[in-house]
C-alpha cells in the first residue's frame, strides 16, 4: 500500500507561497498519497488557559491531530513572521499540544521554508529544526528556498532553479529513509 503524506504551509494566507512550495515539493514523491492541508480549515480562537477552560479540546484541534496520527510522514513549509512562526501555525499548535504534547508523534518529517527575500525564512526554519525534535518529530531533511518570486514559476507551479529543485527532490526522497 502507498505511504500517506500530510503536507501544509504553516501560514493562513490564501496566496501562501509556503503552501505553493510544499505542494510542489510533496508532488515530487513517487507512489505516495499526498494530502495538502490548509490551516484556514483549522482556525481557532487565540489560545488562552481561560478559553481552554471554556472550550476544552476543540474539535478542529482534534481533527488536526488525527491527520498527524493517521499519516506516515509530514512535510511542512514555514512562513516567517518577524523571525518566527506565523500566529496561525503557533496558535493551532498550542491548542493541539494541550491534547498531545508530542504533537508530531515520532513521524518522519521534512521541513521547508521560503520567503520573498534572500534568507528564505532561514530564521523560522532554524527555530523549527531546534524545536520539532523535542516535540516528537523525526526530521529527515530541510531546505530553505530564498527569493521565492525568482525561483518559482507561479503559473506552472514549479521551481525553476535546477539546484534548488534537486535539493528539494533529495530532501523529500529522504522522508522514508
The site for ligand FMN (CB under 6 A) is made up of 9, 11, 13, 16-18, 79-83, 115-117, 119, 121
Q: Which CB sits closer to ligand FMN, 38 or 72?
A: 38
Q: How far is the CB of 85 from ligand FMN (least distance, A)?
A: 11
CB of 106 to ligand FMN, least distance (A): 27
Nearer to ligand FMN, 39 or 171 (CB): 39
| Ranges assigned E (strand) in 15-167 | 32-37, 73-78, 108-114, 138-145, 152-153, 158-159
Q: Are 164 and 112 in contact (CB under 8 A)?
A: no
- Give the three cell numbers for residue 77: 513549509
In the complex, what is the shortest distance from the CB of residue 49 to ligand FMN, in angstroms, rounded to a whole number? 25
Shortest approach of ligand FMN to residue 8 CB, angstroms? 10
CB atoms within 10 A of CB 104: 21
Nearer Cβ to ligand FMN, position 115 or 167? Answer: 115
Residue 1 C-alpha cell reads as 500500500
Q: Is 134 exposed, middle or buried (0-12, 13-18, 19+ CB in 10 A)?
A: exposed
**Side-by-side strand order, sheet with 32-37:** 32-37, 3-10, 73-78, 108-114, 138-145
Would you say 6 or 58 has its CB closer to ligand FMN?
A: 6
Nearer to ligand FMN, 26 or 115 (CB): 115
- Report in angstroms how near the CB of residue 38 gets to ligand FMN at its nearest: 11
User: Are 94 and 64 spatial neighbours (Cβ–Cβ below 8 Å)?
Assistant: no
Amino acid at each position: 500500500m502507498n505511504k500517506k503524506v500530510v503536507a501544509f504551509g504553516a501560514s493562513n494566507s490564501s496566496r501562501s507561497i509556503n503552501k505553493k512550495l510544499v505542494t510542489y515539493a510533496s508532488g515530487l514523491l513517487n507512489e505516495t498519497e499526498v494530502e495538502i492541508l490548509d490551516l484556514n480549515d483549522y482556525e481557532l480562537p487565540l489560545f488562552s488557559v481561560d478559553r481552554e477552560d471554556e472550550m476544552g479540546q476543540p474539535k478542529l484541534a482534534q481533527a488536526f491531530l488525527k491527520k498527524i496520527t493517521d499519516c506516515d510522514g509530514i512535510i511542512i513549509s514555514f512562513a516567517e513572521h518577524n523571525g518566527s512562526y506565523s500566529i496561525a501555525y503557533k496558535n493551532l499548535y498550542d491548542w493541539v499540544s494541550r491534547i498531545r504534547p508530542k504533537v508530531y508523534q515520532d513521524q518522519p518529517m521534512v521541513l521547508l521554508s521560503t520567503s520573498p527575500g534572500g534568507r528564505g525564512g532561514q530564521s523560522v526554519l532554524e527555530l523549527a529544526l531546534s524545536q520539532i525534535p523535542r516535540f516528537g518529530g523525526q526530521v529527515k531533511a530541510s531546505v530553505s528556498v530564498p527569493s521565492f518570486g525568482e525561483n518559482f514559476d507561479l503559473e506552472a507551479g514549479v521551481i525553476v532553479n535546477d539546484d534548488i529543485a534537486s535539493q528539494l527532490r533529495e530532501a523529500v526522497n529522504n522522508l522514508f529513509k
